[in-house]
């Protein structure tokens, strides 16, 4: 069984997220989604999600491409996640291109950066709805 992992906040879940999850799952048989906890978002990224962790987790678990959702509590857990879950492919959006190449050097996992869906983002949705605050799409 080929295992794939990806990370994100997945706030205000939209079709760009679904596209990423569908394409990530197509790279293997089992998709692990590591979902940023509320504390990690605030303490490490200074970002507040519209939906809390539990609601975002429930949404992700309802998507047929997702096999397992686990929490992200620190930037440093990626290598241990890859090893613990026996991951073959580490997937991120191409806005992170190059930033996780070390994963491939420190583990047996291949690192793949997938193109984002260009016409949609959580930041765009929040701006159009008049919601304020940083989102997962802000850097």
**Residues with a known catalytic role:** 45, 47
DSSP per residue, 97-131:
TTTTHHHHHHSSPEEEEEPP-TT--HHHHHHHHT-
**Strand, coil or helix: what is 7?**
strand
Q: Where are the beta strands (DSSP E) in the chain?
A: 3-8, 30-36, 68-72, 89-93, 110-114
Nearest CA-CA partner of 69 in 17, 131, 139, 7: 7
């Amino acid at each position: 069984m080929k295992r794939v992992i990806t990370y994100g906040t997945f706030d205000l879940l939209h079709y760009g997220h679904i596209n990423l999850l569908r394409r990530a799952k197509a790279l293997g048989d089992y998709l692990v989604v590591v979902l940023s906890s509320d504390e990690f978002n605030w303490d490490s990224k200074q970002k507040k999600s519209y939906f809390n962790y539990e609601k975002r987790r429930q949404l992700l678990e309802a998507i047929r491409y997702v096999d397992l959702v686990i929490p992200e509590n620190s930037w440093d857990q990626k290598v241990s996640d890859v090893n613990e879950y026996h991951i073959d492919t580490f997937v991120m959006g191409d806005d992170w291109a190059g930033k996780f190449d070390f994963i491939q050097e420190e583990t047996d996992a291949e690192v793949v950066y997938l193109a984002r869906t260009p016409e949609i983002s959580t930041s765009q949705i929040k701006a159009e709805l008049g919601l304020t605050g940083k989102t997962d799409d802000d850097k």
